[in-house]
């Protein structure tokens, strides 16, 4: 890939081929090597310990190393800030300055997208087109299998619809019995749409209800489009070696559907390159998941099972195509087990109870229990920034207790002071 060849502005850590992670008690620096082999790392720690900061700091270095990143942030709190340099950086790796993730001299760029109604200045709002999702993705949005079949058929037979109102009007009046369909052929009802119902075309009333119910909630949210031309081609950006950051404003269902779509497209592309013997022309892309257990939960709702299973299968194929993966989640017991077991490396914050047994079972290391149980964590010191210790477990099962570095990019901080109102303001 052209981008990988550019050697301009190579900084200290990249020259050493290292990703700095943190300091041991004796102030030794613990780092991880950049590798082009399959690689993956998960940050699991209870809320507030600093997973998001560690995750962001980790992929900051990947980006500097010109890896195309595909970042999924379902809540949309943490990763949209990556664009800005860290304004209060306390503990950055030596030789590192605050820096945002925007672009590299090599030409690689980071593109930020959101489905939120209030994009930040550097973000672009995107509205995925419903018709570009597959059956499993639509199923994960709550549509019944019958409703999906009918919906896709409806778009094919009668589309395009100019807007949701027109589509909803068309579905509302759709005949639910043959006799109604027959009557319509003699006397068509008034329709907002410019096409009419075909003879004998009917919809089951339960299918209609399911379709109306889900389309209605989607319409209220305004997060899907009916027009495939509204779609941004993320895969084209990724193919050019750029990075995409996607935030979903709390919509885990939409995030999950997008993970399915993009993971499928990236795997398809890499598989194609492999088949024509050109896999080495493209660098190693990394998929990054914030709140990963929410995206690929261990105990999904029944209607979410097919997509969660698909995501787990896609992710397990990453290894064969040397796609990297990093994630953050508050507990491994809530993450899909196959996925949790599939990681090469782990970083844990302090845990107690059943979580420890799970950690031992997933890493296959019994000695880890007391180490994880005794990690230090005090959030009340250091001006509210806290003191934290995490355990880094390498692929070779080495274990390092470290005080993690902060991130060069801006981070989402807990407010440390509560602003007091003047008494006159209250009165």
Ligand X SMILES: Nc1ncnc2c1ncn2[C@@H]1O[C@H](COP(=O)(O)OP(=O)(O)OP(=O)(O)O)[C@@H](O)[C@H]1O
Q: Which residues bind ligand X (CB under 6 A)?
A: 45, 47-53, 90-91, 330, 385-386, 404, 406, 411-414
CB of 359 to ligand X, least distance (A): 16
In this complex, which beta carbon is closest to ligand X, that of residue 193 or of residue 388?
Answer: 388
In this complex, which beta carbon is closest to ligand X, that of residue 47 or of residue 302?
Answer: 47
CB of 349 to ligand X, least distance (A): 7
Q: Considering CB distances under 5 to 8 angstroms, the limit depending on partner class, which of ligand X, Mg ion, none binds residue 49?
A: ligand X
In this complex, which beta carbon is closest to Mg ion, that of residue 292 or of residue 359?
Answer: 292
From residue 216 to residue 245, the character string flagging contacts with Mg ion as x (rule: CB under 5 A) and all else as - is ------------------------------
CB of 246 to ligand X, least distance (A): 17
Q: Considering CB distances under 5 to 8 angstroms, the limit depending on partner class, which of Mg ion, ligand X, none binds residue 284?
A: none
CB of 250 to ligand X, least distance (A): 13
In this complex, which beta carbon is closest to ligand X, that of residue 261 or of residue 388?
Answer: 388
Q: Considering CB distances under 5 to 8 angstroms, the limit depending on partner class, which of ligand X, Mg ion, none binds residue 142?
A: none
In this complex, which beta carbon is closest to ligand X, that of residue 275 or of residue 414?
Answer: 414
In this complex, which beta carbon is closest to ligand X, that of residue 90 or of residue 316?
Answer: 90
In this complex, which beta carbon is closest to Mg ion, that of residue 53 or of residue 238?
Answer: 53
Distance set, CA 111 to CA 108, 338, 356 (Å): 10, 31, 38
Q: How many residues bind Mg ion (CB under 5 A)?
A: 1
CB of 293 to Mg ion, least distance (A): 12
Chain residues 18-77 in contact with Mg ion, contact rule CB under 5 A: 52
Chain residue at closest Cβ approach to ligand X: 50
Q: Considering CB distances under 5 to 8 angstroms, the limit depending on partner class, which of ligand X, Mg ion, none binds residue 297?
A: none
Is residue 49 within 8 A of residue 349, CB to CB? The reply is yes
CB of 229 to ligand X, least distance (A): 36
Tokens matching residue 171 = 């579905």
């Amino acid at each position: 890939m052209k981008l990988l060849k550019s050697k301009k502005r190579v900084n200290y850590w990249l020259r050493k081929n290292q990703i700095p992670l943190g300091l041991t008690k004796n102030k030794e620096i613990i780092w991880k090597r950049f590798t082009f082999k399959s690689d993956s790392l998960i940050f699991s720690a209870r809320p507030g310990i600093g997973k998001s900061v560690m995750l962001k700091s980790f992929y900051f270095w990947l980006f500097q190393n010109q890896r195309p990143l595909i970042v999924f942030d379902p809540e949309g709190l943490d990763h949209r800030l990556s664009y800005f340099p860290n304004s209060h950086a306390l503990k950055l790796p030596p030789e590192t300055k605050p820096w945002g993730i925007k672009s590299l001299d090599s030409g690689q760029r980071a593109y930020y997208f959101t489905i939120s109604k209030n994009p930040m200045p550097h973000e672009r709002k995107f509205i995925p087109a419903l018709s570009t999702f597959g059956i499993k993705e639509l199923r994960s949005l709550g549509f019944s299998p019958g409703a999906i079949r009918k919906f896709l058929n409806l778009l094919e037979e009668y589309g395009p619809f100019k807007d949701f109102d027109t589509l909803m009007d068309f579905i509302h009046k759709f005949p639910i019995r043959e006799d109604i369909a027959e009557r319509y052929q003699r006397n068509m009802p008034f329709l907002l749409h410019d096409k009419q119902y075909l003879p004998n075309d009917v919809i089951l009333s339960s299918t209609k209800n399911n379709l109306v119910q889900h389309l209605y909630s989607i319409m209220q949210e305004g997060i899907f489009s009916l027009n495939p031309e509204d779609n941004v081609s993320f895969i084209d950006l990724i193919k050019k070696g750029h990075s995409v950051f996607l935030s979903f404003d709390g919509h885990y269902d939409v995030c999950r559907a997008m993970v399915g779509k993009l993971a499928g497209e990236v795997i398809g592309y890499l598989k194609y390159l492999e088949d024509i013997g050109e896999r080495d022309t493209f660098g190693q892309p990394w998929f990054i998941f914030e709140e990963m257990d929410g995206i690929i939960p261990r105990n999904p709702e029944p209607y979410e099972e097919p997509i969660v299973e698909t995501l787990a299968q896609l992710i397990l194929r990453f290894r064969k195509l040397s796609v990297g993966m990093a994630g953050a989640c508050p507990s491994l017991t809530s993450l899909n087990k196959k996925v949790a077991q599939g990681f090469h490396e782990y970083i844990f914050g302090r845990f107690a109870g059943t979580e420890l047994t799970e950690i031992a079972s997933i890493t296959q290391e019994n000695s880890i229990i007391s180490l994880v149980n005794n990690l230090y964590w005090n959030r009340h010191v250091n001006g509210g920034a806290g003191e934290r210790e995490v355990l880094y477990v390498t692929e070779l099962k080495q274990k390092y207790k470290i005080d993690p570095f902060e991130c060069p990019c801006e981070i989402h901080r807990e407010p440390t002071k509560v602003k007091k109102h003047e008494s006159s303001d209250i009165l």
